[in-house]
Amino acid sequence: MVGTLPLQGLQVLEFAGLAPGPFAGLFLADAGAKVLRIDRVTGTQDPTPDLLARHKSSIAVDLKSSNGVGLIKELAKTADVIIDPFRPGVLEKLGLGPEVLCTLNPRLIYGRMTGFRRDGKYAAMAGHDINYIGVSGMLSLLGRSGEKPHPPMNFIDFAAGGAILVQGILLAIITRERTGKGQVVEANMVDGTSYLATSLRQNLKTPYGDHPRGENLLDGGSPYYDTYETKDGGYMAVGALEPQFYAALIAGLGLGGQNWEKRRYDRETWPEMRRQFEAIFKSKTRSEWEAIFDGTDACCTPVLGYPELETNAGREGDQRPVVALRETPCLAVNQKGADPSIHGQGPGIPGGGYIGHALAPGQGGEGALSSWYNWTKGKDFDVKDGGVVMVKDKSKL
């Protein structure tokens, strides 16, 4: 029998921000937490650009007013988690820092997400993904030989930012079960990136990574760990590192009997090996190469694009929760994947994971205040000029 959602009953206040903060809230919401986003008062009902809002609700609050600050304090008294996505000092200046809110609610887990370290050289500076991976050292490893460092798309925001913050929050939840107390959880994308790069950094002192950028085994230097264009303009991804996998690749390419298996570690042969691989892969279409390598251990697979994954049911494109909990499944990303006995998923929503769910300031917020706190509009709170306010002269909510 399938149980409840893993984070059912957890109440999260998420201050609206950029990618990593909303992603942390999204993860918690997908796991069943109730996430209430705190938006600025904009004067419009237009959805914000944040598409990481599925399963969330929103209230708009004027944080520059004493009433707005007081409202957040009341919400924080019984919240489990707060997600602070701002630069150091922003919420503190508003009187909503951890020293205030954690005093009001000792069980509160105050999650703070920054780009740079809070105590580092760049703490007060603006930045984006490319800057965080730049100062962390990781960007120096990315790019082809002889070319400038090349940043990936900003998935580091999510992997080294939002996902790391979630891990910290979950660790704090586990600790709270033992101690009864919450705590401040601090994450930043510099340290998150550096931690993700642990193995890469350590390999710089080994034969696996001691050559210049783009000339190592796993960064495009090796011809049997790279991508190759096919006859129809597609690409195949090759990762035949182990001897038995390399042998299967060579056999599939029709290069058996040429002693390549014994020469694969000889770097002087890599340019010629790459030229042969390039010519052979261009002799067939991607689908033809798939027919050759599917079901083998050659570690040779197609490079698939999201448009074809979205429309081809036979591919790996049905988006699912990041982990499958068989007994207490997370909410499904794909509306068709609601059978927990198959994929460890609970009920799904439209969009299949390819369409974002925008949220307008205030959307669903009144219902959340009612269900979370048993508050009544007009009695406990009201909406004025597009923002939620506490009812005046109400001494206790």
List beta partners, residue 112. 84, 186
DSSP 134-151: HHHSGGGG-S-TTS---P
Spot the catalytic one: 157, 191, 219, 226.
157
Q: Confirm whether 226 is a catalytic residue.
A: no
Contact assessment for residue 194 and residue 213, using Cβ atoms and an 8 Å cutoff: no
- The SS3 call for residue 241 is coil
Angle, in degrees to the nearest 10, between helices 20-30 and 163-179:
50
Contact assessment for residue 30 and residue 55, using Cβ atoms and an 8 Å cutoff: yes
Q: Where are the alpha helices (DSSP H) in 256-319?
A: 260-263, 270-281, 286-293, 306-311
Contact assessment for residue 19 and residue 52, using Cβ atoms and an 8 Å cutoff: yes
Catalytic machinery residues: 157
